[in-house]
Structure 1
Amino acid sequence: MKASLLRRACTAALLLATTLAPSAAAQPDAGAGRSDVLGAQARLLGEKIVPHKLSFQGTTVGGLSGIDQDPCTGEYVMVSDDRSYMQPARFYTAEIDVDGAGVHSVDFTGTHPFLQPDGSVYPPSSAGDGKAVDPEELRVDPMSCRYWWAQEGERPKSSNDPVIQPSIQLASRTGAYRGRLRLPSHYENTLADRGMRRNKAVEAITFGGNGGLLTSAVEGPLIQDGPEPDLERGALVRVTQQTRWGQVVGQYAYPLDKIFAKSDPSSPWPPDTGVTAVLAFPDDPSRYLVLERTWVAGAGFKIRIYDTTTSGATKVQNMDSLAGQRVVPMRKKLVADFHDLNLSAIDNTEGMTWGPTLPNGERTLLLVSDDNFADDEVTQIVALGIRDSE
């Protein structure tokens, strides 16, 4: 939600083989160059715009920041990042008709709120009791078809505000609380100079290794890992592989791109960039698609999808800080830049999932944008055809 909130407010006023020194010296493009085993290619199949603020079963459809296909029903599940401001934090199910000719229809079929352990819905963030959530991602468990969902929590601006820890929780198919994943200690929000930045926490999760691994990605660099990207340098963000019981199998440094354009000098808002989704390749537990979303005042959004791998990358789970360390980051190669796809709009795209396999052997990749319930933004479903180069 962050990038589009910045855009609205502005309108209302106005990255041992290849080595890097992370933090300020991180150069994502160097990681991108080592891409000999990565070869996914994409083409646009089509898109569909969901009616703005669509009313469905007493809720307002919007803020869709994650999407996954349910193997038990064939339907899609989408999480809203409404922090219980409009209606209780929730998810939707939908039938999406997509094939090689495009996205033909998006029909919502159900919605349920996420429930707390006591069975109640989550209160709005303004309640100030530390129980609010910021839902950002949802994945359907390939073994049970229950739902795992990630929420960013809150690093407060002052010591007077409650700390809300990020979490990855397990829910029933109707939203009831069924437990949570134990996260690495450096995922915790604190008021010190350690941990995740505000609004740059657990944004992306995915299942891999035939459902035995749950991988999560932090949206931006940890405070101790160095500064955020700028026009000259990228940054390293942490990608963590865990068993479904919480044991860390590996943690790696993903090379986030530098900022793509100068910001409008009249804007009070700095650029906003990060990893908003990660998606495992079903047949390779080390390989992922990563979605990078960037917003720059005066230049708008840049949406890029990368083919990336942990193979050969340094494990960093025992490194308290990446700053000044010599690590081999994950390799990456560009799969698609939305500016090259001739879309009707390039907006705040935050979620992606695999769809059906086409007769020609291509996988479909579906992406969804978060409209933040704003009148100048859209809920957009984009379908791409993905194949490995031969």
Structure 2
Amino acid sequence: MGLVAIGTLLTLTGCDLPQVSAEERLFLPLQIELLDVATLPAQTFADTPVGGLSALTYDRQRDVFYALSDDRGRLAPPRFYTLAMATDFSTPESPKIADIAVQAITTLKDQAGNEYPSDRLDPEGMVLSPRQTVFISSEGVPATQTPPTLNEYDLATGQLKTEFRLPARFLPTVPTEEEPEPAAQGIRDNLGFEALTLGPTSSAGAFEPFRLFMATESALAQDFDPDPANPLTNRFLHYLIGPQQSTFISEYAYPLSLEPLGTVVNGLTELVAIDQGGHFLALERVLGIRGFVIKLFQLATGGATDISTLPALPSSDNINPIQKQLLLDFTTLEVPVAAIDNLEGMTLGPPLPDGSASLWLISDNNFSDDQSTQVWLFRLAIG
């Protein structure tokens, strides 16, 4: 079933209605299959190191991908790359990645057209919009007291078009003379806005509204629970982006999986919207004593409590969080666990020959000689 059909469910009536569990009614019957894994060789392009690729988005019109580097401007100005990723369909039932090539680079610029200086952006999430722009989230840079941002940039020039206002609860507290040790609030260091996606936009034109969803990698400072026996709660934001005005719609609690013993980093790294009914894919990544542990979940947001009026989350159980269902634990794949790298970017790509959707993931090599930039190709189908 094709990409558009991902969000289409059969309507059954009368005696044809099957007996299904509550969970089956809540989630889509998704199936996922690993097709191939390839590596983008270490290289430079336009005098910049190609690496730190933390987000991936697909351009259907041009049949290319855009990959965002999370370089804070320390090795080169903040930027994203255009990638051509050819697929070998010689065996239609088992497509492979034939080639990955860097075609172009786009440098991000402020509204005056100037490149950002070092440590002003920490770009982590990116998604292509139907109005020839890219939305990019920055985690912020505490060292320079630069707050997190959600920005919209021109696709062709990389110039800033819009900087969206974030609710105050996401902004880190800054010490002042009057309050040298303020109460902890907002994004925690390197755990800010990592995941970003758009609702399906197949029929949306440049002048029609569309939905944008963004989530934190981990809990805000005021929501943080220091007890390692308790899972943390992220925040999941919903915007309606219009041609003249954009609106913050709602916010939900995202239950992050409990981090295993020996964890160094644990967080939600990417989202992909798969229909207009509130279903998403969520990519979670753990780095610990066993290396990288990657899990892919299906989300159902219907019935989740709007927490946008809560500056801090209560410890009571009167909040309905987003519901999660494990779709894939990467340790079950027929690849060595040591071969799984720091997967952070994810996007739906072009349809496969059988009409199912292609799902592409990319890893952030942290500009390390000990890591690589991996590209993973999956088949995603419903039924």
* TM-score normalised according to structure 2 size: 0.83
Task: Say if 2:343 is the partner of 1:349.
Answer: yes
Q: Is the CA contact 1:206–1:216 (under 8 Å) kept in the aligned structure 2?
A: yes
Larger-Rg structure: 2
Counterpart of 1:299 (choices 290, 296, 300) is 290
2:271 paired residue number: 278
In structure 1, which of residues 160, 163, 180 is the aligned counterpart of residue 145 of structure 2? 163
SS of aligned partner of 1:46: strand
Higher relative contact order (CA 8 A, sep 6+): 1
- Code of the residue aligned with 2:78 in structure 1: it is A
Q: Which letter maps to 1:224?
A: Q
Taking the TM superposition and a 5 Å limit, the aligned residue runs for 1:217-256 are 217-227=215-225, 230=228, 232-244=229-241, 245-256=245-256
Deviation at 1:36, TM superposition (A): 4.3
Asked whether the equivalents of residues 309 and 331 of structure 1 are also in contact (C-alpha less than 8 Å), the reply is yes
Q: Give the distance between the partners of 1:382 and 1:246, measured in 2 at CA.
A: 34
Q: How far is the alpha carbon of 1:41 from its aligned partner?
A: 2.1
CA distance in structure 2 between the partners assigned to 1:336 and 1:351 by the alignment: 16
Aligned residue for 1:327?
A: 319
Tell me whether 1:195 sits opposite 2:182 in the alignment.
no
Aligned-residue offset at 1:196: 1.4
- SS of the residue corresponding to residue 142 of structure 2 reads coil
1:284-326 deviations in whole A, cap 9, x for unaligned?
2411111101111x21111111100110111111112113232
Match among 277, 280, 300 for residue 288 of structure 1 = 280
Alignment gaps of 5+ in structure 1: 1-32, 126-131, 157-161, 264-269
Rounded to whole Å, the distance in 2 between the matches of 1:95 and 1:63 is: 18
Count, aligned residues: 334
Hey, what does 1:128 align to over in structure 2? none
**Structure 1 94/209 Cα, relative in aligned 2: closer, same or farther at 3 Å?**
closer
CA contact (8 A) 2:148 2:187 kept: no
RMSD across aligned positions (CA): 1.8
Q: TM-score, normalised by structure 1?
A: 0.82
Give the aligned partner of residue 340 of structure 1.
Answer: 332
In structure 1, the partner of 2:158 is 175
Identical aligned pairs, as a percentage? 30
Partner of residue 128, structure 2: 140
Q: CA deviation at 1:68?
A: 0.3
- Tell me what 2:195 maps to: 204
**2-side partners of 1:229 and 1:65: how far apart?**
29
Unmatched tracts of structure 2, length 5 or more: 1-21, 175-182, 205-209
Offset at 1:146? 1.4
**How far 1:40 moved relative to its partner?**
1.9
Task: Give per-residue Cα distances to partners, 1:116-148, cap 9 Å, x unaligned.
Answer: 2222111112xxxxxx1101111110x212111
Inter-CA distance 110–246: structure 2 relative to 1 (3 Å threshold): same
Q: Which residue does 1:374 correspond to in 2?
A: 368
- Are 1:257 and 2:250 an aligned pair? no
Secondary structure class of the residue paired with 1:339: helix
